């Protein structure tokens, strides 16, 4: 039996694929001794949780990240873990590019400026002459990608005719992959930062990448750089380092689809969030934050659930399943 642990409210998609082979968190009575596969969204799957399922042999994540699953415990207890990376690639790469273009061309700033001019026209500063923001000519800019897996590669292929130079750092792709992308490969992160005015992250969250965006990282970037993160919130060490980067001018602008804590809490008095929310704040126009939705379109959402359910069914029947983590 497959157990859907959380989040899904209507099981029509799963039922079409799994038939009677699943139960869900909505059921009041559940015989955990019959559960062999978990199908997981956001639920925290730790040692305590897993001990309740004596016959469990597989866990399938609806999404890409597996940081909500105790991988070490699963490895020690021979529980296989699979993720689902083959959906929403275009959606995430398109969102990344939209953020880059919007921030580089100051779309948000000019939108707000236009509202100000309509509310209080200024004769000395007429409508069409409001060019006081420094916008980018992308054909003179270098884009640096950290990670060129499915999504990073999609961004690269879409952006290579927009920017002057396409750069990347990824020690895990084979030599020669730079020729496939038509990009410049850098073997050190420092060199990538030195040679790129826009930095975009496309990496998984693991021990190597956790807290990767920190004060030291930002200080190595070019002045007035654009920073984009549509990968994982945990690669951000703290929102303070981003706020300091914007305040100092090291960062010209910032685009985030993910945060270290989701949903964020204003009770912590994070200056970055306070500045972003505030109207008429000099930093607010420099920040775009989305609520972890870059993956989403109706098509990708359906695709994600169909693929995850199919993987879970194959796990149940001991068939070959790709994207094994452990």
Choosing from 105, 292, 303, 306, the catalytic residue is 292
Is residue 47 part of the annotated active site? The answer reads: no
**HEC letters along 178-190:** HHHHCCEECCCHH
Is residue 262 part of the annotated active site? The answer reads: yes
Element (H, E) at 272: helix 271-277
Is residue 57 part of the annotated active site? The answer reads: no
Asked if residue 104 has a cis previous peptide bond (ω within 30° of 0), the answer is no
Nearest CA-CA partner of 93 in 317, 295, 318: 295
- Using only the alpha carbons of the chain, give its radius of gyration: 22
The DSSP output letter for 140 is G
Show the tokens assigned to 279.
């109207």
Show the tokens assigned to 59.
């866990």
Distance CA 281, CA 283 (A): 5
Nearest CA-CA partner of 8 in 312, 306, 321, 305: 305
Choosing from 262, 282, 299, 317, the catalytic residue is 262
Distance CA 40, CA 309 (A): 10
Residues 78, 56: contact at Cβ < 8 Å? no
- Which residue numbers are catalytic? 232, 262, 292
């Amino acid at each position: 039996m497959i157990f859907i642990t959380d989040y899904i409210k209507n099981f029509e998609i799963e039922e079409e694929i799994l038939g009677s082979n699943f139960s869900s968190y909505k059921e009041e009575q559940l015989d955990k001794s019959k559960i062999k596969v978990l199908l997981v969204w956001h639920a925290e799957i730790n040692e305590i949780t897993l001990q309740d399922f004596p016959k469990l042999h597989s866990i399938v994540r609806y999404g890409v990240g597996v940081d909500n699953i105790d991988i070490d415990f699963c490895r020690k207890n021979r529980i296989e873990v699979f993720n689902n990376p083959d959906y929403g690639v275009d959606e995430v790469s398109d969102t990344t590019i939209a953020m880059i273009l919007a921030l580089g061309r100051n779309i948000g700033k000019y939108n707000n400026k236009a509202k100000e001019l309509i509310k209080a026209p200024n004769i000395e500063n007429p409508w069409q002459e409001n060019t006081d923001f420094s916008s980018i000519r992308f054909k003179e800019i270098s884009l640096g990608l950290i990670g060129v897996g499915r999504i990073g590669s999609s961004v690269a292929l879409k952006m290579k005719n927009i920017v002057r130079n396409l750069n990347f750092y990824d020690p895990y792709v084979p030599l020669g992959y730079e020729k496939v992308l038509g990009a410049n490969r850098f073997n050190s992160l420092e060199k990538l930062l030195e040679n790129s005015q826009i930095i975009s992250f496309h990496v998984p969250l693991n021990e190597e990448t956790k807290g990767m965006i920190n004060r030291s990282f930002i200080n190595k970037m070019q002045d007035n750089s654009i920073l984009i993160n549509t990968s994982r919130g945990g690669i951000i060490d703290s929102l303070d380092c981003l706020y300091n980067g914007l305040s100092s001018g090291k960062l010209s602008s910032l685009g985030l689809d993910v945060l270290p804590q989701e949903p964020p809490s204003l009770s912590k008095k994070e200056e970055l969030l306070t500045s972003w929310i505030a109207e008429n704040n000099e930093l607010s126009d420099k920040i775009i934050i989305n609520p972890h939705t870059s993956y989403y379109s109706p098509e990708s959402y359906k695709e994600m659930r169909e693929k995850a359910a199919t993987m879970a069914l194959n796990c149940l029947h001991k068939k070959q399943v790709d994207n094994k983590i452990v």
